[in-house]
């Protein structure tokens, strides 16, 4: 439908929308302050232990005293988001804060990130539509980092002013749900009203996020033209840049830690990101990543927040604790750990442990008993705290019912080896990249989607068993054995996930398709460069770029680039260029007439290899024949033989000249897959469309998914649990296998689009050890005495 252009200038419309939005949201602050006051008064009247009652009363009195200051500060800071100069000032402020990052700023970042995630969970659809309309009016690909429409800007204002006026985090924890619900409800209404305001003025009344893919008669993506590879299914400019974040938990499999879910905050909120006083450069990188509020950045931000909380807990409650200094276990504790490991190994070898639900309960009980015994042998607070935290983490892991019971029993055997590492290397608590964490996360994410029947006796269970036993055999080697078996497990996964016969055949064909399509694009680019300085008719150029590049690529993949048949086809391209050039010489015309039948036969053979229908072949050959006839009558100069010879030499060794640049998206469909497989491919779906056009951040996220991770796939209105089992060498094609036996081959850009639209959602909200750490912290917050007792 044609959209009428707004009568009001675009920039003015955008400013009016922002002013109305800021005013509407600003009206909620007084109402929110009243609700906060009522909540704190009610809590102060509740009966509880003396410490809690005092905290609640202090929070109520503090808010009564500072309420006006906070409310006015929030109102003023929020109104200033409309002033362009403020963005510059905030950039300078964020830069300064990054160099002086402390615990207060880190906590503000974490609080704001959680608030942002809650807001996005409820408002993402309205916000996404508004984002597209504002980007249209502003003429940009993404809204500015400090745009008032971004939820992280409002979250940053509210959190900063809270701590800035002197209110503490104890009070925030008591009322954060009140603040969250007020902001979620008001922002949802304000986004809706802003969309209505713009629609009434003719700004994108309808938004269609489906890619508008141009297809040829055969149903394939539009072919390449003489100017290079087609962009295939790209959206029109006015709908690009859309970014939906419907999913309540996003992430999964990103980076080495294989994390999932989180909530992050943009640096646009004025709250700098990152954790800890050291690593300022990493902190700056994290902050820049969060400017676009990307899922992967939010994942890492939230996980780093958990690690930061753990480090602060240890620093605050354990005298002399230093995350940067190794503190080997005392002799008494080391001997106790060795004795327990020997007893545990004997129990397993004597078949005194069952690998089922009762076995998990037995393992949990043993963890409690070992923890008590080991803490009695500990000689200092650092050892006691480490023992307790590792025990709580493993209790959390064993309570994860999505992991089959037999695997959880094997995980329980890692408690002692992990404890050794945690005592000797405090880095285990300070980084997500420790190999012990990575190993547990990877094994946990891979088995998350299997039930007990599917995992028992499987190759995967046998590999997990082998990994645990190798670690047990080398207890003194610390992180080295964890790194070794982690690398081995990664290699095992690459084979195990594709071991089924059909899956192997699909991945083999898909890999060949990627190679062929990539080469076709590269050959097109290189031949265009060859012919740029030569006088070659457009009809011949089109045939070489659109048809013969495909022929050469298929031959190179099927037979090899230097195979005799491939070299013959390459030479045919040279012969065609020479034959179609001007022929003022009688001897040249005689040579063309003599060689023409052989040349046409080679062209037919090449097109037949592409399974091109004979009528289509005849159309191409007629155009070529007419062009050759014209060349006979042409009085222009012929192409110098030196150029022909140079082209022949370059074509013969074409692979030496091509690069990986600009390969773009690979055209691929279910019909070509079935044709190349030679079998019924009804259980395999090629996902070539769906979702909105992905942003660069989403494309980056799609490339960092971890093999073996599980997802919920919403395809054609059917929900399925699917495991990520394979990616091609160039990461252009990705294969998912569902629990009902179906497979989904998804192109890279479509994969990012599905992630962006919430059609592909990670099963795990966060990595296994991150969740275990978070739950351990929650227990220690509720019962801090247990850390050292």
How does the average pLDDT of the chain come out, rounded? 76
Q: Where are the alpha helices (DSSP H) in 580-669?
A: 586-609, 614-633, 641-652
Pairing of strands 743-747, 718-727: unpaired
pLDDT at 281 over 60: no
Pairing of strands 684-687, 259-260: unpaired
What is the per-residue pLDDT across 581-605, written as a single tens digit (0 to 9) for each?
877 777 877 887 888 888 888 898 8
> In the prediction, which pLDDT does 217 show?
34
- Do residues 589 and 632 make contact, with C-beta atoms less than 8 angstroms apart? yes
pTM value is: 0.52
> In the prediction, which pLDDT does 487 show?
92
**Residue 438 is inside which H or E element, if any?**
helix 435-447
The length of the chain is 789
Percent of the chain with pLDDT over 90: 23
C-alpha pair distances (Å), 69 with each of 28, 66, 72, 156, 228: 16, 5, 5, 17, 61
- Which DSSP letter does residue 329 get? P
As a whole number of angstroms, the distance between CA 269 and CA 197 comes to 25
* Angle, helix 435-447 to helix 415-424, in steps of 10 degrees: 150
What is the per-residue pLDDT across 724-780, written as a single tens digit (0 to 9) for each?
988 887 787 888 988 887 888 888 888 988 988 888 988 887 889 999 999 999 999
pLDDT at 253 over 50: no
> In the prediction, which pLDDT does 685 show?
82
Q: Annotate 199-267 with DSSP letters as a single string.
A: HHTTS-SS---S----B-TTSSBPPPBTTB----SPPPGGGTT------SS-EEEETTTTEE------G
Percent of the chain with pLDDT over 70: 74
pLDDT at 75 over 90: yes
Phi, psi of 703 (to 5 degrees): -80, -10
Pairing of strands 733-738, 259-260: unpaired
pLDDT at 282 over 60: no
Q: Is 288 left (phi over 0), alpha (psi -120 to 50) or beta?
A: alpha
What does the pLDDT average to over 188-201? Answer: 91
What is the per-residue pLDDT across 137-156, written as a single tens digit (0 to 9) for each?
888 888 888 899 999 999 99
Pairing of strands 743-747, 733-738: antiparallel
C-alpha pair distances (Å), 439 with each of 414, 434, 535: 11, 9, 60
What is the per-residue pLDDT across 297-350, written as a single tens digit (0 to 9) for each?
667 777 888 888 888 888 888 877 766 566 778 889 989 998 888 887 777 665
Tokens for 216, please give them. 């040829």
Residues 6+ apart with CB under 8 A from 246: 124, 125, 757, 758
For tokens 């493993």, the residue is 394
Q: Which residue has the higher pLDDT, 191 or 2?
A: 191
- Do residues 608 and 662 make contact, with C-beta atoms less than 8 angstroms apart? no
As a whole number of angstroms, the distance between CA 750 and CA 665 comes to 9
Residues 6+ apart with CB under 8 A from 499: 459
**In terms of C-beta density within 10 A (0-12 exposed, 13-18 middle, 19 or more buried), how is residue 224 classed?**
buried
> In the prediction, which pLDDT does 512 show?
67
* Angle, helix 405-412 to helix 381-398, in steps of 10 degrees: 170
Centre a 10 Å sphere on the Cβ of residue 535 and count the other Cβ atoms it contains.
15
As a whole number of angstroms, the distance between CA 5 and CA 674 comes to 46
Query: If pLDDT is split at 50, 70 and 90, which confidence band does 284 have?
Result: very low
**Count of alpha carbons within 13 angstroms of residue 227, beta-carbon side:** 2
């Amino acid at each position: 439908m044609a959209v009428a252009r707004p009568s009001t200038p675009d920039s003015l419309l955008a400013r009016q929308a922002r002013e109305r939005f800021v005013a509407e949201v600003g009206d909620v602050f007084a109402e929110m302050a009243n609700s906060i006051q009522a909540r704190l008064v009610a809590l102060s009247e509740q009966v509880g232990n003396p410490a809690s009652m005092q905290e609640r009363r202090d929070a109520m009195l503090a808010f009564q005293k500072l309420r006006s200051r906070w409310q006015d500060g929030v109102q003023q800071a929020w109104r200033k988001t409309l002033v362009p100069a403020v963005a510059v000032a905030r950039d300078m402020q964020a830069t300064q804060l990054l160099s002086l990052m402390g615990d207060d700023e880190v906590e503000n970042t974490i609080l704001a990130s959680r608030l942002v995630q809650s807001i996005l969970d409820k408002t993402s659809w309205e916000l996404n539509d508004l984002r597209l309309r504002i980007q249209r009016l502003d003429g940009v690909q993404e809204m500015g980092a400090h745009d008032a429409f971004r939820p992280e800007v409002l979250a940053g204002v509210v959190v900063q002013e809270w701590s800035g006026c002197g209110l503490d985090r104890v009070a925030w924890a008591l009322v954060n749900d009140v603040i969250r619900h007020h902001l979620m409800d008001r922002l949802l209404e304000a986004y809706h009203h802003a969309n209505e305001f713009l629609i009434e003025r003719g700004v994108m009344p309808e938004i269609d996020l489906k890619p508008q893919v141009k297809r040829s008669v055969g149903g394939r993506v539009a072919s390449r033209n003489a100017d290079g590879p087609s962009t295939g299914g790209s959206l029109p400019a006015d709908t690009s840049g859309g970014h939906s974040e419907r999913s309540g938990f996003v992430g999964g499999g990103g980076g080495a830690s294989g994390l999932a879910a989180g909530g992050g905050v943009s640096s646009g909120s004025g709250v700098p990101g990152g954790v800890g006083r050291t690593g300022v450069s990493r902190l700056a990188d994290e902050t820049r990543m969060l400017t676009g509020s990307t899922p992967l950045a939010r994942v890492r931000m939230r996980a780093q927040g958990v690690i930061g909380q753990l480090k602060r807990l240890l620093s605050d409650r354990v005298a002399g604790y230093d995350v940067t200094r190794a503190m080997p276990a005392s002799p008494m504790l080391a001997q106790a750990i060795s004795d327990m490991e020997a007893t545990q190994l004997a129990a397993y070898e004597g078949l005194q442990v069952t690998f089922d639900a009762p076995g998990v309960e037995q393992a949990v009980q043993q963890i409690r008993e070992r923890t008590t015994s080991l803490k009695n042998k500990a000689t200092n607070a650092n050892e006691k705290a480490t023992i307790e935290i590792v025990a709580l983490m493993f209790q959390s892991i064993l309570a994860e019912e999505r992991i089959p019971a037999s695997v959880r029993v094997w995980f329980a055997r890692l408690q002692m080896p992990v404890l050794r590492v945690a005592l000797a290397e405090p880095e285990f608590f300070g980084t997500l990249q420790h190999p012990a964490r990575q190993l547990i996360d990877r094994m946990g994410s891979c088995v998350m989607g299997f039930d007990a029947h599917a995992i028992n006796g499987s190759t995967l269970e046998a590999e997990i068993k082998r990994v645990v036993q190798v670690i047990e055999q080398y207890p003194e080697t610390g992180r080295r054995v964890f790194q070794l078996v982690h690398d081995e497990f990664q290699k095992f996964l690459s084979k195990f996930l594709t071991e089924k016969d059909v899956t192997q055949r699909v991945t083999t064909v898909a890999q060949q398709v990627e190679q062929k399509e990539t080469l076709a694009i590269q050959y097109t680019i290189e031949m265009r460069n060859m012919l740029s300085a030569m006088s070659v008719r457009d009809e011949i150029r089109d045939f070489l770029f659109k048809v013969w590049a495909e022929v050469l690529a298929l031959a190179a993949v099927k037979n090899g680039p230097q195979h005799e048949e491939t070299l013959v086809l390459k030479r045919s391209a040279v012969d065609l260029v020479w034959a179609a050039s001007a022929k003022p010489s009688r001897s040249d015309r005689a040579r063309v007439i003599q060689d023409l039948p052989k040349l046409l036969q080679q062209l037919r053979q090449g097109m037949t290899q592409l399974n091109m229908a004979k009528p289509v072949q005849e159309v191409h050959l007629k155009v070529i024949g007419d062009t050759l006839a014209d060349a006979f009558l042409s009085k222009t100069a012929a192409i110098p033989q030196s150029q022909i010879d140079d082209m022949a030499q370059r074509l013969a060794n074409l692979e030496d000249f091509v690069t990986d640049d600009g390969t773009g998206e690979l055209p691929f469909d279910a019909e070509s897959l079935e044709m190349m497989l030679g079998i019924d491919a009804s259980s395999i779906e090629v996902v070539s469309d769906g979702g909105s056009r992905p942003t660069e951040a989403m494309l980056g996220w799609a490339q960092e998914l971890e093999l073996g991770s599980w997802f919920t796939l919403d395809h054609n209105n059917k929900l399925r649990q699917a495991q990520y089992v394979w990616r091609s060498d160039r990461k252009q094609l990705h294969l998912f296998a569902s629990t009902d036996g179906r497979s989904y081959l998804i192109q890279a850009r479509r994969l990012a689009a599905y992630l962006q639209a919430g059609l592909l959602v990670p099963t795990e909200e966060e990595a296994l050890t991150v969740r275990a750490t978070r739950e351990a912290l929650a227990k220690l917050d509720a019962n801090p005495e247990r850390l050292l007792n």
